[in-house]
Structures are given as structure tokens and as C-alpha cells.
Structure 1
Amino acid sequence: MGYFNTYYNAKKAFDDAITELKKNPPKDLDTNYFAQYIANQSVKTKFNLVLEKASKILQFYPKSKWFDDALMMIGEIYYYQDEGELAIKKFEELIDNFPRSKHIWRAHSLYARTLYYNESYERALTYIDKIFPEATINNEDIAIELTLLKAQILYEQKQYEKSIKSLDEALIIDGDEYLLAVAAYLKGRINEVTQNYNEAKLAYSSVLNFDPDKNLEFKSKLSYARMLREVGEYQKALDYFLKMRKDEISQENLSYIDLEIARTHEKMGELETALTKYEMVDSLYKKTDASAKSFYYRGLMYEQVYDFNEAKFYYDKAKAEFPQSEITEIAQKKSEIFSKLLQYRSEILKYDSLYLNVTDTSKVKIDSNSVADTLRGLETTTDANATSIADTLLSEKIDSLEEDLLLEPIADETTDQSNLKQEITKVQTININPDSLLFLKTKNQMELATIFFLDLNLLDSAEYWFLQALSSKYRDNFAPKAYYSLIEIYKLMGYDQKADSFYNILVNEYPKSEYSQYVQKIRGENNNYIESDSEQLYEKALQSIENNKTSEAIKILRKIVLADTSSRYNIKSIYTMGWLYENILKNNDSAKFYYRILIDKYPQSLYTQEIVGKVAVAEDTSKLSQVIKLKEIVPPPPPSPKYVQTEQRDTKRTSIQQQQRDIRNRDIREEDYEEPDIEEPEIDEEEPPE
């Protein structure tokens, strides 16, 4: 009887731990039935007690009738604690040795789930296909779960048609009504993400044909009404939302209804009503997910009418309103984009106006220092402190400017002329070479053009500013990048002749630039293009990253750094190692080690500008976890619909892979600066902290 007491105590502790675990469901459980639970310390303590007692049963009572129960408990504990390999081992042991156990089908299900959590997607899909036919005969609920898991994996891989096909297989099984409701809801989400709104509407409405819990029922109704709006049935959507308001629902759910009512008025073109409704959400539901989204949607409204100051104002509100909201990260990125946009626009106006003043010989005495000397200093200056260059050099009071001297804005630009005049009148004296101002103006024009192109997909504005930069006397510093960008812009606009014209200019006037060689390589016209050893190694390292072989990648990258200090891949390799330690291995000390090398040895590089702030706060390593923004000049995707609440989950497991791919092309955004001669980083004499 001793082993019975051991089993009884283990089972009771296990049930208590599971009950406590389920009290804190994963954040994305509503959008992913298979979202992983995270055990807190209290749950882990109970799990450890269970492991101790269940292990005694396995060790001392191998013939006990509770042996498979103990084995299953141990496997589940490893499963919940995200110890995948140990969980798989226990589930395999039960499946192989106890094929008639009452736990056999749950073991099959958790085995497949564990493969999913381990990101062994192909193994999981193969296993599901293998056991599904038998599951439909022996355990229909597990058969539904398996098809749901298959659909989830295919959905995350963006194989949407296959995912829906799997869900249709689940929906014809006569099994648990709640699981079927989950399948119908997921089908709605996939159709929504792929913009098949009519199909999504039908799928969301079909959820109510099964047995959803209250939460799933509400989300299905809300999503159904949203789809009415997306297909243009605005009044039906409004009526449905108002009908939902009369149900007995929580304050949180009420906030989501009011938010969707505001969005519907916006869709109808009733912007004043929409703004009023959004303000109501802010007032009634402060510091909630709904109020954060209310601020975010207003930011989108102003962005679409090119009022970038107002857009930034609301994105700033959105990012701070409710940190747990799924739009917080997006709003943060939007805020950063418009902060830079407004900064570059202001810089252009400032340098243009200063240039006009310093070239007025009645007021200005031009310094005779050479342009080359000036530019050597300027090229090592980051955007953050570039604004202070003029203030440092000027030494004579400047009178306020006339209106006709101000930079003429394009249609979607606004300027704060009063701030400009205040800036100018602060200047006490003049002693500056005007060419430095022209260089800075051109540099900011390029930065502004790049934001319009890559971040905002405003091709007309991007074209305007790239052409402005090309009209500068310092065009040669930026021309290859500008021409390359304009080629892509004109291709997106459908102006193939213009694209070809700029292509010919790029390859004829700047044949040795990386941009020229790159486009020729893509077109198959550069037969003399030979990859360097460093380039080949770097490609191999990136392949290792994509195959989740991080340690192997770091070894290759170190080899590049130690072998060829003159190659641009030297800088990229140091940067990539820092990125890997920060974002993949979560080792901030090692990340700081490589980032510090960049700052010390390569102060000019734009890679350094990306991470200098991280190292500055590295003493507080919690601040070092923000993912580095990586960009490439490539054709941006077609304009996507406004933020869809349900589309976030499909990016969760692909975000790291996407960032890994982005590293491959990070240098495309580098300016065409000449790198200085630098001593080899002493990486071979010092290892990063582990």
C-alpha cells in the first residue's frame, strides 16, 4: 500500500499544480489554442514534488498498475516546464511500452505539441499525418486536436490554403463541440488575414453553431460584425455592435465594442463622429487595451492625411497607454519613424536656411578651410549630434529670415517656421564653410527619402527627396544609393523606362559601387562578379543562423573578423555576432563585448549608430534587450490593410527568422562612405564574457 500513498500524494500535488497553472493562461491563448503555459515558481515547486514522488514509483514499483500514470505525469511536467527533449522521451516511453494505456492518446497529442513547441514543425506534421487515421477511429476529440495543431502550424508557415483544408477536415468530425468552435474561429481568422472577408464572416458566424465558451462566443460575434464592416455592410455592422452592447458583458468587452463602433464610423467616412467616439473610448476606458488601440487608430488616421505631427502625437499616446497591448510595439516603431522623419525635415529646413544666410556676403565671412577637411569631420558625425554642428561653428548674430528664403515643402510636408527662426536667432556669430551645410542638408534629404520609401511606402515623396539629393553638388557621396532606390521606386510605379534609364546611369557613372554591382548581379549582367572569401563565409554563417546553428555561425563570423580586416564583412560580422548574443543567445554581456568593438574601432559605420545607445545603457542590462532595427532597400510589400487585431500571432514564431534574414542585407542601407584604415580588432586575444 506504500506505493498507493505515493501515487495518491503525487496525483493530488499534480492536480493542484495544474489548477494553479491554468489560472494564468497565456496572453495569446485567445488566438492560439496551443499557446504555451508558463509555470511560475509556485507551480514549479509543486511540480518538483510530483517529480520526486512519481520517480519513486518508476524506480521502486515498476510493476505497479500506476506505473503509466506516473510516467504520464512526469512527461506532462516536462511538457509544461518547456523541457521538450525530456518530455518527448517520456511520451515515447509510454507510447512504446503501454499502447493500451488510458493515457495513450493524450500522450500522442502532447508528443505532437512538444514537437511544435520545439519548432520541429516538419516532424510534428509527419507525426500528425501518421496517427490521424487511427485517432479518428479511437479518439475523435484527439483527432480534432491534431488537425487543429496541423492547421496552426500551416497557418504560422503562411500555408493558408492547406491550413483551411485541415480545419475543414476537423469540422466534419463528430467530436467535442468546443474544439469544433475553436476550429471554426481559426478558419475565420485565416480568411481574415488573407482578406477573404466574406468567407471569414461565414466562418465566424458558424462558431455559434457549436458550443463556444463565453469568451470565444464574444470574440466570434465581434469578429463577425467587423467582417460586415470590411465587406461594406456598414449599417448592419453598426446595428450588430449596438445589439451586442445590450448583452450582459464585461466592461472590457464593452470597450472593444465601442472601439469598433468608432472604427466603423471612420470606415464610413464620418471622421468627426469617429474622432468623437475614439475620444469617448479614451475617457471611459483609460489605461486599457481598447484605449491604446483608440490612440493608435487615430495615429493611422492622421498618417493617411500626411499630418505627421499629429500622427506622432497619437502614436506616442498609444505606446504608453497600455504596455501589454499588442499594438504597443507597433506604435513604438511608428513613433520612432515619425520622430526621425520630423527631425530630418527640420534639419533640411535649418541647413538650407543657414546656407542662404552664410552665403549672403553682406553678413557673412566665409572660413577658408578646405571642404575636404570639413567633410572629414562631418562624415564621422552621427545624425543625433549633427544638428549642433552649425551652432558650434557660428559666431555672429543672424537676423531672422525672410519668408521667401524658407525651404518650400512638398504637398505632404509641413514646417514650423517659428521654431526655425528661434533657432537662427540663437546663433551669435558666423565662421563656417557653407559647403558643410550643403553636405548635411543632402545627407538629411537621403535619410528622409529612405524613410518615405522603406518605412511609409510613400513613393512620390521618396522620389522627390532622392531627386533633391541628386541635385546637390555633393551628389556623388550619395548617388549610387539614390539611383538604386529610384530604380526600385520606378519599378513599383510601373515606370519601367525610367527605371532602365536610371539603371544605365548607375552602372555607367558608378560601375564600382556595390549598388551597381548588386543590380548587375541580379540582372545577370555582371559576369566578372566574384564573391570574396569573406562574402562566401558570411553567406555560410547566415545559413547556419537560419538552420538554428548559432554556435557554428559565431565560429564562422569570428573567422571572418580575424582573417580580413579590410573587408566590409569584417564590420558586418562583428555586428552580427553582437546581434546573435543579444537576440538569440540572450547574453547581454557578450553582446556588449562585440558592440563595444564596433564603437571603438568603427565609429563611422551606420552599424555603430544602430547600437551605440545600447552600449551606453549596458550597465543596466535590462535595457539592452530591445531588438535592433534592420532594414534593406528592397521593393516594399504592397500596401497592407489597416492593423488587423487577429493577424499578430502568425508573426510570433517567424520574427527571429525574419530578423536573421534581414542581417543578410543590412549593408544595403549603409551609406557609401569610405571606411577608414583600422587596426584589427583584438578578438583573438580576448573572448566575450559567457
Structure 2
Amino acid sequence: MIRSGLRRILPLIILVLSSGCAYFNTFYNAKRYYKEGLKYEESKKGSGKAQFKKSLEKAVIVARDYPDSRWIDDAFFLIAMNYYWMENYEKAHNQFEGFLEHFSDSPFTEEARYHYALTLTELKQYSEGRLVLQQMFDSKRFRRGARFRWALAFKEEEDWDAARSAFKEFLDRYPQGDLASDTRLHLAEIELAGGDTLSAINTYERYLKRAETSKENFERLLTLAELHYLQKDYVTARRTLRKINGRYRDIDERSDLLTAKIELAEGDSSQAEKLLAQIPSGNSRAEAFFILANLYEVQGEYDLALAYYDTLTSRERRSDYAALAERKKTLLQARVLEPDSADTTEVDPAKEQFLLAQTYLLSLGDFERALEEYAKVIDEYPESEYAPKALYGMAWLRRYRLNDTLWHEEFERLLELYPESKEAKDARELLGDEEVSSDST
């Protein structure tokens, strides 16, 4: 009798045990794939996405099929975290909000709140993200990361003063460690963005004295050399370049390009030509060819200049310099070919000069060169419809990109020279807004 009863319930016992094993295995694999994904991310950002996707699939099964299990909060936490690491921030945002609402007593709540804050900043909701990060300043586990990301959110929002203050406060609290090194680099970038090149140089030099040898730090050495070059400190720029020891081809090409620029600045065009002509590939070659074309144009070797501009427009079409080359070629043809040439009858030199300035501004972000090209429009084509546009462009650039107080004078000049232009009207409106803003503070 007992044996017959056991025979009847044995299948049920096996079913329960097997379903429990399946549930546990699914959850175990979800955690395993997630941990594997994190290990991949440590070595290279984005390399763990395949593992996170597998973990997500397993965690969804646990949450869907076993809603009353003891590990249900673990499953929903994994779902949110996997979306975060897969950079699907919209879905991560929704999952974190749901998790924090329904599992406020979970052991994962603090970690979820921290990554919820990071998700908000990734979605460019900086104020909301900083508010959540501030709530974690007393967290033993996350306070350091929270303060760092709080400062970083100001930088990403381009609030340079607030970012500088927040990063300096971070260094006062945590002067050692990886985040302290990252903070010094961010401060250098902030100083550079604010036009304080000397402070940026000092910050980079302090960091690189203690930095390990890596490709990233070789790139920072190259940046430091470029800053010395911009300061016209060519001796220090060369000395910095010598520390780049030929381990990475792309960095070597950029180093050769900068060396050629230094040669040109020091007046040795023949050595610069050799270096520029030997750069084999990549964006460095596009810039090298553009410099060569400009050099030959200045020297009056127009056929060579046009040949290099043609090469850029045909073979380096994906480069930022291709658009510049097209403008320069058109301007050069308009200036040196016969006026009735079929290639130049429709060319408006003022327009091409203005578009060249725009290309420097929008494609390359070379603000100083853009100012130079805008000035040529005003000097060479003062009666053109593009002259007031160029003057407005100069004022806008000084005001919003260079933080140069001369912007106000440029606008006044625009109102004086071209009072009836659309650009003058826009300038009056902007000046009016500035006056209202200053009166209210």
C-alpha cells in the first residue's frame, strides 16, 4: 500500500525537483554571464555586450516564470544592469525606476541607485543625475564614485566653472588613486577648453610624470607636445615627442605630422615637405596633404597645390579636410585661372571664402583659423553679402567658443558697417538680451 502510494507521488516529486533545478540553473547562468561580461568590460569597454545579452535573456526568464522566487529582486536587478552595460539607457532607466520602487529593501538597492544616477547622466539629464548622486555622498561603497561622476556631469554639460570646482574638491578629498589621476586629466581638458593652455600643460605634465606606459598615455604625451607647439615652445615640443618610442604606428604618424609643423614654424620647409610626403595613411595623411597644398599655394606652385587638393577631394573624401580642399581648390582656380574659364564663371569668391571659414569652424573646430578666414571675407570682399555674415560669425565665435571679450566690439562694428543687414538685426536682439540679462543680475 505504501509502495503503491509512493509510486503515485514519485512523478510529482521528480517534476518539482526538476523544475527547481531548471529555475536555479537559469538564475545561476544569468549571474555567470553577467560576471563574465564585467570581466570583459574591465579589459575593453563594450567587449562584454554578448555576455550581458545572454545574462539578460536568462534573467528575464526567471522574472517571468518564477515571480514568487527568493531571487526575484536579483533577477530584476540583473535586467536593469544588463541594459545599462549594453548601453540601452532608455530601458535601463525604466528598469531601475521600477526596481527602486518595488525592491527598496533589497541588498542591491544602493548599487541600483548609483547606476540609475549614471543612467540619467548618460541620457543627458544632468541635473536629475547629480541630485541622485548627491544623495550617495555618504555611501561607504559609492561615495568616491558618486562625487567623481557628479563633477563629470558638470563637465559633460560644459559648465566649466562648476566642473573645475567639483573636480578640485574631489582631489582635496581623494588625492590618490585611479580616479584622482582621471580627475587631473579632466582638469587639464577643462583648462584647455577655457583657453588656459599653460595650466593645461602643467596639469598634463604632473600627470604624465607618474603615469604608466600605455597607448592612452602616449596619446596624452602627443597632446602635451601639441600644446607646447601652440605655445610656440618648439624645443619642449620636440623633447616631448622624443618620448614617444615608435610602438604605435598611428601615434608615430601624428608625431611626424607635428614634427613637420614644427619644421615649418621654424622656417625649414624642405624638411617639412619630406616628412609630410612620407606620412602613409589615415587622417594624418589628409592633414599632411592639406598642409602641403597650402605650402605650394603660398610658394606660387599652383599646379602642385591643385594636384594635392584634387588628391584630397578624390582619395580622402571621408576626411574633414576634403571639404576644405574643395573650397581652397575653387578659390585658387578663381584667382589664378582666366576669368572666363568654364570652371570659374559661376564661382563667387566671397561665398567660397565664407564657406571656407565655416568649414574650419564646423568640420574641424579650428576656431582661430576660422577667425582668420572670416576676416579675409571682410577685408577682400567688403561689399559682398557675405561680409556681414562673416562679421557676425567672428562675433559669435569670440562670444560662445573663445570667451573673448572682443565679441562685443565685433557686434558694434557690424552695426556700424552693415546696419540694414539681417545679421545686424540679429546682433541687436542678442545685445538686447545681454543687457537685460546683466540688468537682472
- Would the alpha carbon gap of residues 229 and 342 (structure 1) be closer, same or farther in structure 2, given more than 3 Å must change? closer
The equivalent position to 1:466 in structure 2, one of 381, 389, 400, is: 381
Equivalent in the alignment of 1:444: 348
The equivalent position to 2:122 in structure 1, one of 99, 117, 124, is: 117
Matching of residues 393-432 of structure 1 within 5 Å: none
Residue 265 of structure 1 aligns to which amino acid in structure 2?
Answer: E
Q: Is the 1:7–1:53 Cα contact (8 Å) retained in structure 2? A: yes
Matching of residues 582-601 of structure 1 within 5 Å: none
In the alignment, the residues of structure 2 paired with residue 213 and residue 267 of structure 1 have an alpha-carbon distance, to the nearest angstrom, of 30
Q: Is the 2:73–2:106 Cα contact (8 Å) retained in structure 1? A: yes
In the alignment, the residues of structure 1 paired with residue 338 and residue 285 of structure 2 have an alpha-carbon distance, to the nearest angstrom, of 35
Equivalent in the alignment of 2:152: 149
1:29-55 deviation digits (Å, cap 9, x = unpaired) = xxxxxxxx4987xx2xx5554333212
1:63-105 deviation digits (Å, cap 9, x = unpaired) = 6554343223211222244433321122223344555655445
Equivalent in the alignment of 2:185: 185
The equivalent position to 1:107 in structure 2, one of 107, 112, 123, is: 112
Residue 27 of structure 2 aligns to which amino acid in structure 1?
Answer: Y
- Would the alpha carbon gap of residues 501 and 110 (structure 1) be closer, same or farther in structure 2, given more than 3 Å must change? closer
Equivalent in the alignment of 2:75: 70
In the alignment, the residues of structure 2 paired with residue 490 and residue 180 of structure 1 have an alpha-carbon distance, to the nearest angstrom, of 38
Q: Is the 2:137–2:144 Cα contact (8 Å) retained in structure 1? A: no
1:387-429 deviation digits (Å, cap 9, x = unpaired) = 48xxxxxxxxxxxxxxxxxxxxxxxxxxxxxxx9xxxxxxxxx
Q: Compute the displacement of 1:6 (Å).
A: 1.4
- Would the alpha carbon gap of residues 116 and 266 (structure 1) be closer, same or farther in structure 2, given more than 3 Å must change? farther
In the alignment, the residues of structure 1 paired with residue 28 and residue 355 of structure 2 have an alpha-carbon distance, to the nearest angstrom, of 64
Residue 135 of structure 2 aligns to which amino acid in structure 1?
Answer: I
- Say whether 1:220 aligns with 2:124: no
In the alignment, the residues of structure 2 paired with residue 218 and residue 483 of structure 1 have an alpha-carbon distance, to the nearest angstrom, of 43
Which of 207-216 and 328-337 deviates more?
A: 207-216
In the alignment, the residues of structure 1 paired with residue 282 and residue 412 of structure 2 have an alpha-carbon distance, to the nearest angstrom, of 51
In the alignment, the residues of structure 2 paired with residue 59 and residue 85 of structure 1 have an alpha-carbon distance, to the nearest angstrom, of 21
Equivalent in the alignment of 1:194: 194
- Would the alpha carbon gap of residues 499 and 252 (structure 1) be closer, same or farther in structure 2, given more than 3 Å must change? closer
Q: Compute the displacement of 1:8 (Å).
A: 1.4
In the alignment, the residues of structure 1 paired with residue 256 and residue 390 of structure 2 have an alpha-carbon distance, to the nearest angstrom, of 43
Equivalent in the alignment of 1:134: 138
The equivalent position to 1:87 in structure 2, one of 92, 117, 124, is: 92
- Would the alpha carbon gap of residues 243 and 125 (structure 1) be closer, same or farther in structure 2, given more than 3 Å must change? same
In the alignment, the residues of structure 2 paired with residue 192 and residue 319 of structure 1 have an alpha-carbon distance, to the nearest angstrom, of 32
Equivalent in the alignment of 1:334: 324
Matching of residues 654-669 of structure 1 within 5 Å: none
Which of 263-272 and 71-80 deviates more?
A: 263-272
- Say whether 1:265 aligns with 2:296: no
In the alignment, the residues of structure 2 paired with residue 8 and residue 316 of structure 1 have an alpha-carbon distance, to the nearest angstrom, of 60
Q: Is the 1:308–1:338 Cα contact (8 Å) retained in structure 2? A: no
Q: Compute the displacement of 1:334 (Å).
A: 0.8
Matching of residues 197-212 of structure 1 within 5 Å: 197-208=197-208
The equivalent position to 1:8 in structure 2, one of 5, 12, 28, is: 28
Q: Is the 2:59–2:75 Cα contact (8 Å) retained in structure 1? A: yes
- Would the alpha carbon gap of residues 461 and 226 (structure 1) be closer, same or farther in structure 2, given more than 3 Å must change? closer
In the alignment, the residues of structure 1 paired with residue 239 and residue 65 of structure 2 have an alpha-carbon distance, to the nearest angstrom, of 66
Q: Compute the displacement of 1:60 (Å).
A: 4.4
- Would the alpha carbon gap of residues 194 and 86 (structure 1) be closer, same or farther in structure 2, given more than 3 Å must change? same
Residue 320 of structure 2 aligns to which amino acid in structure 1?
Answer: I
- Say whether 1:287 aligns with 2:281: yes
Residue 288 of structure 2 aligns to which amino acid in structure 1?
Answer: S
- Would the alpha carbon gap of residues 49 and 332 (structure 1) be closer, same or farther in structure 2, given more than 3 Å must change? same
- Would the alpha carbon gap of residues 177 and 496 (structure 1) be closer, same or farther in structure 2, given more than 3 Å must change? closer
SS class of match (1:259): helix
In the alignment, the residues of structure 2 paired with residue 170 and residue 82 of structure 1 have an alpha-carbon distance, to the nearest angstrom, of 27
Identify which of structures 1 and 2 has the higher relative contact order when contacts are C-alpha pairs closer than 8 Å and 6+ apart: 1
Equivalent in the alignment of 1:559: none
In the alignment, the residues of structure 2 paired with residue 174 and residue 226 of structure 1 have an alpha-carbon distance, to the nearest angstrom, of 30
In the alignment, the residues of structure 1 paired with residue 63 and residue 268 of structure 2 have an alpha-carbon distance, to the nearest angstrom, of 69
- Would the alpha carbon gap of residues 295 and 152 (structure 1) be closer, same or farther in structure 2, given more than 3 Å must change? farther
Residue 189 of structure 2 aligns to which amino acid in structure 1?
Answer: R
Matching of residues 166-181 of structure 1 within 5 Å: 166-174=166-174, 177-181=177-181
1:519-578 deviation digits (Å, cap 9, x = unpaired) = 467558xxxxxxxxxxxxxxxxxxxxxxxxxxxxxxxxxxxxxxxxxxxxxxxxxxxxxx
Equivalent in the alignment of 2:435: none
Q: Is the 1:487–1:502 Cα contact (8 Å) retained in structure 2? A: no
1:139-188 deviation digits (Å, cap 9, x = unpaired) = 2442354235324423xx3x222222222233234387222222222222
Q: Compute the displacement of 1:235 (Å).
A: 1.6
5+ long unaligned stretches in structure 1: 26-36, 352-386, 389-419, 421-439, 471-478, 508-514, 525-690
Equivalent in the alignment of 2:5: none
Kindly, what percent of the aligned residue pairs are identical? 18
Equivalent in the alignment of 2:403: none
- Would the alpha carbon gap of residues 239 and 496 (structure 1) be closer, same or farther in structure 2, given more than 3 Å must change? closer
- Would the alpha carbon gap of residues 499 and 216 (structure 1) be closer, same or farther in structure 2, given more than 3 Å must change? closer
Equivalent in the alignment of 1:661: none
Tell me which protein shows more helix as a share of its residues.
2
- Would the alpha carbon gap of residues 101 and 153 (structure 1) be closer, same or farther in structure 2, given more than 3 Å must change? farther
- Would the alpha carbon gap of residues 173 and 318 (structure 1) be closer, same or farther in structure 2, given more than 3 Å must change? farther
In the alignment, the residues of structure 1 paired with residue 211 and residue 107 of structure 2 have an alpha-carbon distance, to the nearest angstrom, of 26
Matching of residues 300-449 of structure 1 within 5 Å: 313-314=307-308, 317=311, 329-342=319-332, 344-345=334-335, 349-350=339-340, 387=342, 444-448=348-352
Q: Is the 1:207–1:220 Cα contact (8 Å) retained in structure 2? A: no
Q: Compute the displacement of 1:191 (Å).
A: 2.0
In the alignment, the residues of structure 2 paired with residue 320 and residue 211 of structure 1 have an alpha-carbon distance, to the nearest angstrom, of 41
Q: Is the 2:378–2:387 Cα contact (8 Å) retained in structure 1? A: no
Q: Compute the displacement of 1:240 (Å).
A: 2.9
Residue 331 of structure 1 aligns to which amino acid in structure 2?
Answer: Y
In the alignment, the residues of structure 1 paired with residue 427 and residue 411 of structure 2 have an alpha-carbon distance, to the nearest angstrom, of 16
Equivalent in the alignment of 2:434: none
Q: Compute the displacement of 1:119 (Å).
A: 2.8
Residue 150 of structure 1 aligns to which amino acid in structure 2?
Answer: A
1:116-147 deviation digits (Å, cap 9, x = unpaired) = 3323233223333x325224x44244235423
In the alignment, the residues of structure 2 paired with residue 251 and residue 63 of structure 1 have an alpha-carbon distance, to the nearest angstrom, of 57
SS class of match (1:195): coil
- Would the alpha carbon gap of residues 220 and 106 (structure 1) be closer, same or farther in structure 2, given more than 3 Å must change? farther
- Would the alpha carbon gap of residues 39 and 308 (structure 1) be closer, same or farther in structure 2, given more than 3 Å must change? farther
In the alignment, the residues of structure 2 paired with residue 295 and residue 485 of structure 1 have an alpha-carbon distance, to the nearest angstrom, of 30
Residue 377 of structure 2 aligns to which amino acid in structure 1?
Answer: A
- Would the alpha carbon gap of residues 311 and 180 (structure 1) be closer, same or farther in structure 2, given more than 3 Å must change? farther
TM-score (norm 1): 0.47
Q: Compute the displacement of 1:199 (Å).
A: 1.0
- Would the alpha carbon gap of residues 151 and 522 (structure 1) be closer, same or farther in structure 2, given more than 3 Å must change? closer
In the alignment, the residues of structure 2 paired with residue 175 and residue 498 of structure 1 have an alpha-carbon distance, to the nearest angstrom, of 49
Residue 114 of structure 1 aligns to which amino acid in structure 2?
Answer: T
- Would the alpha carbon gap of residues 334 and 77 (structure 1) be closer, same or farther in structure 2, given more than 3 Å must change? same
Residue 266 of structure 1 aligns to which amino acid in structure 2?
Answer: L
Q: Is the 1:348–1:444 Cα contact (8 Å) retained in structure 2? A: no
TM-score (norm 2): 0.69
- Would the alpha carbon gap of residues 321 and 170 (structure 1) be closer, same or farther in structure 2, given more than 3 Å must change? farther
